[in-house]
Amino acid sequence: MINELMINNAIVPTPQPDAVFVQDDIDDRLAAAVAAGNRWTLGRTVVDLGTTGNDHDPAGLTIGLRTSGEVSRIVLRWRRRSPATMTVSGDAWERSYGELGWERLRPERVLPWYWTGWDEPSGAVIGAGVDVRPSAFCFWTVDPQGISLWLDVRNGGSALVPGDREIALATVRWIDSVDRSPQQAQRDLVDAMAGRRSAGLLPQQPLVGANNWYYAYGVGFDREAVLGDARTVVELADRHPVRPYSVIDDGWNAGGPGSGGPWDEGIPGIFDDMAEVAAEITAIGARPGLWFRPLRSRAESDRGLAIPRPDRDREVTLDPTRPEVLDRVTDDLRRFRGWGYELIKHDFSSYDIFGRFGPAMGAELTVAGWSFADRSRTNAEIINTFYDVIREAADSALLLGCNTIGHLAAGVVDAQRTGDDTSGRDWERTRRMGVNTLAHRLVQHRRLFTVDADCVPCTPQVPWQLNRQFLDLVARSGTALFVSIDPRSRTEQTDADLAAALRIALDGGDAGDGCGPDSVQAIDGTYSSTPADWCFGELRRHYDWADAPGTSPFLG
């Protein structure tokens, strides 16, 4: 019999695991803990499993940890057979890199944060995830015999030394249904994981504007180019009541593109007064935004504040467990607000902390053998605190997280870059990154944050017949739309397409009257990594990502 809780929602009470394993030091093997009721013990390490929920909120499984020794990982194992016909979808550690999609069962596949399994012949959907902002880096593996939840509680690349304190690691949510589509079940799961954490933080207006990265790439732009971007996006928005943003991306400070702080001044002779630049953007009619890289320093005097990671000994990456580092980040954000910037994009922090981008993090996250100055907190706890500091210091500014951990940033960023960079030079990269992340992480939109699938470039290097399709998709989706417009690429056609798209996006997308964001989805999303067929409410559209259409998607 189908549980009554499944009738309107796929969430069901989370079952107790059949086994729990503990890894103490990073060189030790996983060892089975011994159960006494819902308490599992191995040596000095105790894992407590509890429940939370009520009739309107099916019980989640809480996972608590206490140890007076060292610990690296906890693994929960459910022995449940999966049909050979099942396909599985998961999430990513930070941004995705074109890899998301539904695949046949692959036991070694790392599924960060949550996963959904769909058996098409029977219509059964199963899956699980952890609530946002856990105190451990959590990933799932699914094999024919069972399901495993891996909780990485390390500090840097070393075992955690928590000092005999209790840590609430995570709360697990479970889906199990035969009357829900895979997309509906995913929405139920993300809703359950998000809870109320993101309530009240989401932008009250559509997030739309210009960003100069994909035509400038951090070099060769100056104050007049920045103001030109603002004039362009305001002109194309055509006096829409929602004001667009104009974001100055990497390359404005004295260190040049990709560098670190200090972030107290722009390039001498080019950006001498960043407050004046913000004021001029505002006077043009746009809302000024600014990029920065909070944990990288180019000052050798900061080496004593750096993370001692052996693979990056030439770089100065600031340790976010040091109070003076968090004070500096706070000062930077308050300075940007004082200059008048209304959007702040913070970038590179997960790479700077772990030394790896998402695909290389896998099950290991980082190289072994290093730790933060404070060894008593997990990596997830440290990053949660870091994000909280940024949120508080940014005050009312809109925060856009890039290369940030989405499941930890939920509720503390307004918008999240969910995919790796698109490109103003290579269409294939835009197709692979931008379309993929929009299709397979759209379920997170307005549940965890506003989804940003990255900019739509308008540049001489990429045929506009291709980029305008991506422009149409992003604009109609209701997610964040930023455009990178090379002034050399502006024609009557590009301006008409951009103006039409910006108006749609500034209106909140094209889901149709009375339709919410869930009415937007990829129709063929369970079969393709870059779906071509989409619905927006009652509207259906087909995109040809391989060949350029003969006419604009906005015309005819």
Pairing of strands 343-346, 398-401: parallel
What pLDDT, on a 0 to 100 scale, did the predictor assign at position 7? 39
Same domain, 139 and 219: no
Put residue 303 in one of left, alpha, beta given phi > 0 → left and psi -120 to 50 → alpha. alpha
305: domain CATH number?
3.20.20.70
What pLDDT, on a 0 to 100 scale, did the predictor assign at position 55? 57
CA nearest neighbour of 539 among 524, 527, 521, 555: 521
Same domain, 241 and 104: no
Out of 88-97, 118-127, 239-248, 519-528, pick the least confident.
Answer: 519-528
For residue 4, is pLDDT > 60?
no
Same domain, 165 and 282: no
What pLDDT, on a 0 to 100 scale, did the predictor assign at position 388? 98
* Residue 331 within a domain: yes
> Of the candidates 141, 164, 194, which is a domain's last residue?
194
For residue 514, is pLDDT > 60?
no
Pairing of strands 146-152, 73-78: antiparallel
Kindly state the average pLDDT of the residues 83-108: 96
The 3-state DSSP class for residue 180 equals: coil
What pLDDT, on a 0 to 100 scale, did the predictor assign at position 438? 98
Per-residue pLDDT band for 546 (boundaries 50, 70, 90) equals confident
For tokens 């036991």, what's the residue? 107
How is residue 479 written in tokens?
Answer: 């997610």
Same domain, 230 and 315: yes
CA pair distance 194, 111, nearest whole angstrom: 18
> Of the candidates 142, 166, 194, which is a domain's last residue?
194
Same domain, 331 and 356: yes
pLDDT, tens digit, 9 for 90 and up, residues 261-274: 999 999 999 999 99
SS3 of the chain: helix, strand, coil, percent, to 5: 30, 30, 45
pLDDT, tens digit, 9 for 90 and up, residues 388-405: 999 999 999 999 999 999
* Residue 203 within a domain: no
Same domain, 59 and 100: yes
What pLDDT, on a 0 to 100 scale, did the predictor assign at position 3? 37
pLDDT, tens digit, 9 for 90 and up, residues 399-454: 999 999 999 999 999 999 999 999 999 999 999 999 999 999 999 999 999 999 99
Same domain, 183 and 315: no
What pLDDT, on a 0 to 100 scale, did the predictor assign at position 25? 84
Same domain, 162 and 237: no
Per-residue pLDDT band for 284 (boundaries 50, 70, 90) equals very high
* Residue 454 within a domain: no
Same domain, 243 and 178: no
Q: Give residue 162's domain range.
A: 4-194
* Residue 43 within a domain: yes
Q: What is the mean pLDDT of the chain?
A: 93
* Residue 139 within a domain: yes
CA pair distance 98, 74, nearest whole angstrom: 29
Same domain, 129 and 228: no
For residue 158, is pLDDT > 70?
yes
Q: Structural domain tally of the chain?
A: 2
* Residue 242 within a domain: yes
Helix (H) and strand (E) counts in the chain: 13, 30
> Of the candidates 167, 194, 221, which is a domain's last residue?
194
- CA angle 115/87/145 to nearest 5° reads 80
* Residue 437 within a domain: no
Q: Please, are residues 119 and 470 in contact by the beta-carbon 8 Å criterion?
A: no
What pLDDT, on a 0 to 100 scale, did the predictor assign at position 517? 58
CB-CB neighbours of 365 under 10 Å: 21
What pLDDT, on a 0 to 100 scale, did the predictor assign at position 554? 46
What pLDDT, on a 0 to 100 scale, did the predictor assign at position 5? 36
> The sheet that has 19-23: what strands, in order across it?
31-32, 19-23, 73-78, 146-152, 137-143, 111-112
Same domain, 99 and 248: no
* Residue 429 within a domain: no
| Percent residues over pLDDT 70 in the chain | 93
Kindly state the average pLDDT of the residues 98-118: 97
Per-residue pLDDT band for 28 (boundaries 50, 70, 90) equals confident
pLDDT, tens digit, 9 for 90 and up, residues 213-252: 999 999 989 999 999 999 999 999 999 999 999 999 999 9
pLDDT, tens digit, 9 for 90 and up, residues 294-326: 999 999 999 999 999 888 767 899 999 999 999
Q: Which residue has the higher pLDDT, 44 or 9?
A: 44
Per-residue pLDDT band for 512 (boundaries 50, 70, 90) equals low
Same domain, 168 and 39: yes
> What are the E-state strand segments in 347-490?
398-401, 415-417, 450-452, 456-458, 481-485
Kindly state the average pLDDT of the residues 133-154: 98
